[in-house]
C-alpha cells in the first residue's frame, strides 16, 4: 500500500481551512430541520444593520468575499512559511463565502445559534451561525499572528 505524506503549502492550507469551514456551515444550515433547530433570517449585515437594503447588501457581501479571497492569496505569497496566518485566513474566507452563499441563494443569512443573554443587550437577541464563528475566529487568528510577528521584530 502506498503511503502519501505530503505537507500542504500555505495556499493549500488556506484553501483547505476555507473549504472545511464553508462545508461545515452549509451542512449545519442544511441539517436544521433534522435536529428541530429554529432559524433566524437576517437580511442585513452584522446585528441586522441595513436589513432593508436587499440587493445592495448581497452585492457588497459577495464583493467583499471575493476581495478577501484575492487579498488572502496575495498575502500568502509574501508570508509563505506562516501556517497559522494561512489557517486564519482560510477560516475567514470560508465564513465569508458561507454567508455570501446564503445571500446569493436566499437573499438573507440563515442564523441558528442563539447567543445566551444577548437579548439583554440587543432587541431579539443575537443569532449567529458557523460561518460567523469561522469568520470571527479566522480574523482573530490573523490579528494575533500579526501581533506575534510584530513582537518578534
Which of the following is catalytic: 82, 102, 111, 145? Answer: 111
Residues 6+ apart with CB under 8 A from 21: 90, 91, 93, 94, 95, 98, 130, 131, 134, 138
Residue 111: active-site member: yes
Residues 6+ apart with CB under 8 A from 114: 40, 125, 126, 127
Residue 25: active-site member: no
Which of the following is catalytic: 82, 102, 132, 145? Answer: 132
Residue of 87, 63, 96, 65 lying closest to 8 (CA atoms): 87
Q: E strands of the chain, at which residues? A: 40-42, 109-111, 113-115, 126-128
Which are the catalytic amino acids? 111, 132
Amino acid at each position: 500500500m502506498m503511503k502519501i505524506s505530503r505537507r500542504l503549502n500555505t495556499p493549500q492550507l488556506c484553501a483547505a481551512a476555507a473549504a472545511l469551514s464553508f462545508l461545515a456551515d452549509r451542512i449545519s444550515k442544511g441539517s436544521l430541520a433534522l435536529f428541530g433547530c429554529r432559524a433566524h433570517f437576517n437580511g442585513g449585515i452584522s446585528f441586522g444593520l441595513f436589513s432593508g437594503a436587499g440587493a445592495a447588501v448581497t452585492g457588497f457581501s459577495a464583493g467583499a468575499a471575493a476581495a478577501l479571497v484575492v487579498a488572502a492569496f496575495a498575502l500568502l505569497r509574501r508570508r509563505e512559511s506562516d501556517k497559522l496566518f494561512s489557517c486564519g485566513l482560510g477560516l475567514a474566507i470560508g465564513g465569508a463565502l458561507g454567508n455570501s452563499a446564503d445571500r446569493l441563494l436566499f437573499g438573507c443569512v440563515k442564523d441558528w445559534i442563539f447567543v445566551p443573554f444577548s437579548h439583554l443587550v440587543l432587541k431579539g437577541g443575537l443569532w449567529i451561525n458557523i460561518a460567523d464563528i469561522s469568520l470571527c475566529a479566522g480574523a482573530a487568528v490573523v490579528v494575533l499572528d500579526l501581533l506575534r510577528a510584530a513582537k518578534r521584530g
